[in-house]
């Protein structure tokens, strides 16, 4: 596991973004862990989060021209990641959408760079895939092509069928989904210290029930 993935998981635990216990998911499942990216809620945390996204993007070698952050959660993620990428030597344009069209000034739904070429969508997680579908529609409507999706954590559990939500997005839109870290990385991480290993068995059991089947 690349160091940044382990560092990201420790960062998420330190910020109490990643917690262990018993949590009810939107799907009604009782999960032994919970990831709430909304708790990256101060300047330093957002700066560090952007740096982790940038490291994941650079490590994956994703070919893209513009970074797109879907409203609303994707907006600060796109901004922070664009800044972090620039600091790493890669200056990329970024853009985000409005939920409602502006009827004065420049008008329209988009703010920032023009959607042109290959567009990388950035978000925190993929649940039902609604945000990705809306983003892909916006991108293609403007004559550009989605290059992929980058998220913070891939839970790797079943979505509507036997595939994970990320796999469903890949199949539905023909684009890859990347993540800073995945459930595989989390299980590896839990084995690195005795204080974390206590949570491993519950997550393994949860995965045996709700884990996605490889496509």
DSSP string for residues in 110-133: EEES---SEEEEE-S--SSSHHHH
How confident is residue 160, by pLDDT bands cut at 50, 70 and 90?
Answer: confident
Asked if residue 57 is part of any domain, the answer here is: yes
| List 99, 104, 109, 173, catalytic entry | 104
79 band by pLDDT with thresholds 50, 70 and 90: very high
Average pLDDT over residues 143-158: 96
Name the pairing type of β-strands 18-24 and 30-35. Answer: antiparallel
Residue 204 lies in a domain: yes
Would residue 102 show up in a list of annotated catalytic residues for this protein? yes
In a domain, 93, yes or no: yes
Question: Rounded distance, CA 154 to CA 152, Å?
Answer: 7
**What angle (nearest 5°) sits at the alpha carbon of residue 134, between those of residues 129 and 137?**
125
* pLDDT for residue 103: 54
Mean pLDDT in residue range 164-169: 93
What's the domain range around 150?
Answer: 3-99+109-210
The pLDDT confidence band at residue 214, using thresholds 50, 70 and 90, is confident
Q: Strand 94-102 vs strand 66-69: parallel, antiparallel, or unpaired? A: parallel
Residue 104 inside a domain? The answer is no
Number of independent structural domains in the chain: 1
Strand order in the sheet with 94-102: 108-112, 94-102, 66-69, 118-122, 145-154, 177-182
CB atoms within 10 A of CB 35: 18
Q: Which two tokens stand for residue 129?
A: 């895939």
Task: Average the pLDDT over 29-38 and give the result.
Answer: 94
H/E element holding 1? none
| pLDDT at residue 1 is higher than 60 | no
At 131, the pLDDT band (50, 70, 90 cuts) reads confident
Say whether 47 is catalytic: no
Asked if the structure places residue 151 within a domain, the reply is yes
Q: How confident is the model at residue 82 (pLDDT cuts 50, 70, 90)?
A: very high
Going by pLDDT thresholds of 50, 70 and 90, the confidence category of residue 105 is very low
Residue 196 confidence class, pLDDT cut points 50, 70, 90: confident
Mean pLDDT of 10-29: 93
| CATH number of the domain residue 88 falls in | 3.40.50.2020
Q: What is the mean pLDDT of residues 75-97?
A: 97
Any domain includes 159? yes
- Residue 181 half-sphere exposure, CB side, CA atoms within 13 Å? 23
Q: What is the pLDDT of residue 109?
A: 85
Buried b (16+ CB within 10 A) or exposed e, 104-125: eeeeeebebbebeebbbbbbbb
CA dihedral sign of residues 173, 175, 180, 185:
positive
Average pLDDT over residues 143-164: 94
Q: Which of 24, 47, 55, 102 is catalytic?
A: 102
Mean pLDDT of 104-127: 85
pLDDT of residue 27: 80
Nearest partner of 93 among 62, 59, 117, judged by Cα:
117
Contact call for residues 8 and 52 (beta carbons, < 8 A) = yes
Mean pLDDT, the chain, rounded, equals 92
């Amino acid at each position: 596991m690349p160091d940044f993935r382990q560092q990201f998981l420790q960062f998420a635990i330190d910020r109490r973004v990643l917690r262990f216990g018993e949590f009810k998911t939107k799907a009604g499942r009782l999960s032994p862990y919970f990831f709430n990216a909304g708790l990256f809620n101060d300047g330093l945390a957002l700066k560090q989060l952007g740096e982790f996204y940038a490291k994941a993007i650079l490590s994956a070698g994703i070919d893209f021209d513009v970074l797109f952050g879907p409203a609303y959660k994707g907006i600060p993620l796109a901004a922070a990641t664009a800044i972090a990428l620039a600091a790493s030597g890669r200056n990329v344009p970024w853009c985000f959408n409005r939920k409602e069209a502006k009827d004065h000034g420049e008008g329209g739904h988009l703010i920032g760079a023009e959607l042109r070429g290959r567009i990388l969508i950035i978000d925190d997680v993929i649940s039902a895939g609604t945000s990705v579908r809306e983003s892909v529609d916006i991108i293609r409507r403007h004559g550009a092509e989605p290059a992929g999706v980058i998220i913070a954590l891939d839970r790797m559990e079943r979505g509507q069928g036997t595939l994970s939500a990320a796999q469903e997005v890949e199949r539905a839109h023909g684009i890859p989904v990347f993540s800073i870290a995945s459930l595989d990385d989390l299980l590896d991480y839990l084995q690195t210290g005795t204080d974390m290993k206590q949570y491993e068995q519950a997550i393994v059991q949860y995965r045996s029930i709700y884990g996605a089947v490889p496509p």
